[in-house]
Amino acid sequence: MARIAFYAPLKPPDHKVPSGDRRVARLFLEALRQAGNDVFVASRLRSFDGVGDPARHSRIVGRADKIANRLIDRWRREPQTAPDHWLTYHLYYKAPDWIGPAVSQALRIPYVIAEASVAMKRATGPWAAGHRAVVEALRRADLVIGLNPADREGVQPFIGPGAWTELSPFLDTGLYRPAARGPAGSARLVTVAMMRPGDKLASYRLLGAALARLLDLDWSLEVIGDGAARAEVSAALAPLGFRVRFLGEAGEVEVAAMLGGADLFVWPAINEAFGMALLEAQASGLAVVAGNSGGVGAVVADGETGLLTQPGDIAAFSSAVRQLLEHPARRVALGAAARRKAVEQHGIASAAARLAAMLASLRPNRAA
């Protein structure tokens, strides 16, 4: 059994605001525990800087330095409580890791990163310091676990030979119970996404525009999620009228129940990394229509478990939804295949076994 220090600089796993990122952080903790490890959250410091503010950056770095020094001092005094590995989940220029590299180097323990991306256009400008910190963390990493294959090209130049390994996005498929679905009746469309400015709002707007072209068909849309852009999302979906039901924010168990009762999952996925909601929908036996951005194609098999369209293409997205509304037997078949794929390739037990093998290959070289 290994003792693992876990850190999520973007959002700690016990953060009060739900999101896909928080969901994946929790899943990593659970998978590591299922693999027989003693895992603990090393720090809850959020390094997220959404505007590239120098003063905020300076405060975050100052706090991170103090936390790192405190952890190093404590674990040198009490080596029996020190971790065998440090694992940081999700690095990018707005949320770098200012703690893990220093602690790992001082204690001579393996430094592992799960999910990282590099945007070279951020090498200059307000987030240049965050970009440099990500690059430095990657250079020090003993192992980089990629959940999104699209990240590999940007990360590869900054890591050592053999440091990159891929892990399929995963979840506890036992939580999701597909309902019996037949071809008759009005189709219940569903989407799950936070309502915030930026790419999420852009996806909601595309969804509204695409579905507005399908008012000649019999369907309804259930929207699960909430957030600061609720008014803008409501406006984007207003042309759909009575067909839309806003179900608000829901917990994992409630989301699973809602997905189980739907017929088709729809989400344009503009600039989506891979989309945990897409995986949850497939585990629920739902066919998916999504935009093919980021790592979405690694989760949704186009033509096998759903239909993928060019990102941002309203007409193509609308046409794909129409196909599955007009051909319910195909929709049901895609959903059944989606469930099989989720169970066979994206279950938490297989992820736990993969993580155990990865970490077993890394040995601490502890400082005296």
CATH code of the domain made up of 173-345: 3.40.50.2000
Q: Which residues pair with 7 in a beta bridge?
A: 43, 88
Six token digits for residue 246? 């806003």
Task: Tell me the CB-side half-sphere exposure of residue 261, using CA atoms within 13 A.
Answer: 8
Token look-up 């007009």 returns 326
Per-residue pLDDT, averaged over 207-234, amounts to 97
| DSSP 3-state of 196 | coil
What pLDDT score does 366 carry? 60
Determine the 3-state secondary structure of 143 from DSSP. strand
Sketch the domain layout of the chain as residue ranges: 3-170+347-360, 173-345
Tokens at 248, concatenated: 């608000």
Q: What percent of the chain has pLDDT over 90?
A: 87
Q: Count H helices and E strands in the chain, helices first.
A: 13, 12
Q: What is the mean pLDDT of residues 133-159?
A: 95
What is the three-class DSSP state of 294?
Answer: coil
Q: Is the dihedral of CA 220, 214, 320, 248 positive or negative?
A: negative
Q: Which residue has the higher pLDDT, 300 or 366?
A: 300
Domains 3-170+347-360 and 173-345 share a fold: yes
| Topology given in CATH for the domain delimited by 3-170+347-360 | Rossmann fold (3.40.50)
Per-residue pLDDT, averaged over 275-283, amounts to 93
> Residue 238's pLDDT band (boundaries 50, 70, 90)?
very high
pLDDT of residue 3: 96
Segment 204-224 shows an average pLDDT of: 98
pLDDT of residue 364: 67
The answer to whether residue 205 scores a pLDDT higher than 60 is yes
CA gap 255, 289 in Å, rounded: 18
Q: Which has the closest alpha carbon to 91: 126, 66, 115?
A: 115
